[in-house]
Amino acid sequence: MSNKLKVVVSRDLGPDVMPLLLDNKELDVVVWPHNSVCDRKWLLENAAGASGILVMLSEKLDAELFDAAGPSLRVVSTMSVGYEHADLKELAKRNIRFGYTPDVLTDAVADLSIMLALMAGRNTKETTEIVQSGQWPNFVWSPFAFCGPQLSTTSTSPKRTAGFIGFGRIAQATLARLVPFGFQHCLYAANPSTPADPAADAALAAKYGVRELRRVLLAELASESDVVFVLAPGGPATYHIVDEKFLRAMKRSAVLVNTARGTLVDSDALAKALHEGWLYGAGIDVVEGEPKIGADHPLVKAPRCVVLPHIGSATTDTRIGMATLAANNLLGGLFGKDMPAELNTSR
């Protein structure tokens, strides 16, 4: 019998990270050998006797998997910020430690949020299609063809207001990127169970150099914002928080950006809003029901709607950082040490 601790990894984490596990002489590492979503049957079979399991967002962490691993399982680590694929109650009941990868992707998602605001406002969907389809030679220039709202302030439009649904790390990093564009006004909506803190808002306004930073209700956020960034957590409390009522209240020149979770936005309502011009455009990195999003999806077909395949964290630096954190969480849990990012599952 080997005295090594068995760990199962559902995807090769690459040459920068795998040595953290493979070179550890106290571990017996079993890795899913394909560059694809880990097969559920393979995972269940190989989990038997494992002390640690490292997975992606695509792997379901439930009682079936924990039963397959058996009483030896000490820690589960996920290479993701979200943990909706994990049964936290089962983890707590079995006293299995759980690690995830927050913070690492903050800057990458904030960058993408700004990119989508620009892409949606400058109508890159239709204009790119003109080039890709070979129609540019037939295009007749006109003074206001394809014009959309400018993100930065101008002499004729000196005020820009950013609205945030959720105002955590990524939202604040996005605000910091908006300030050089001339944004001086920030409105945000937060969890109703969290008490308002005007003093903290004033401190954040000073930190980011904006004149106004204020917590408001959704109705005011919708009607006053030039760009709305959806950056709240998923779950029942925020399901379709951006619905037809919210979209009808938006400025006709406004842009909506969702880089959080697809379930926060009612796709059918947003498609209707874009077709009927309730707002100017939308930049979407996440869609309810993804990745089963075909060419006939309402948002893919909607005008002035840029849809990306959930690439918020897709920079090499960020993914290496996430993989490294996931591996270090696993190691900490295996050897009874601190995990760099451990979620308290007993809350």
Count of H-run helices and E-run strands, the chain: 13, 12
Q: Give the residue from 314, 321, 317 showing the smallest Cα distance to 102.
A: 321
Catalytic residue check, 310 = yes
> For tokens 């540019």, what's the residue?
136
Residue type, position 246, single letter: F
State the helix-helix crossing angle for 169-178 and 198-208, rounded to 10 degrees.
Answer: 40
Backbone angles phi, psi at 226, to 5 degrees: -85, -30
> How many Å apart are CA 166 and CA 191, to the nearest integer?
8
Set 34, 85, 275, 310: catalytic member:
310
d(CA 147, CA 144): 5
Cα separation of 299 and 178, whole Å? 26
Q: Quick one: which of 36, 27, 34 has its CA closest to 6? A: 27
Residue pair 226/255 in contact (Cβ under 8 Å)? The answer is yes
Q: Give the position of tokens 């990127």.
A: 177
- Reported as type and span, the H/E element at residue 282 is strand 281-284
Task: Tell me which residues are annotated as active site.
Answer: 310
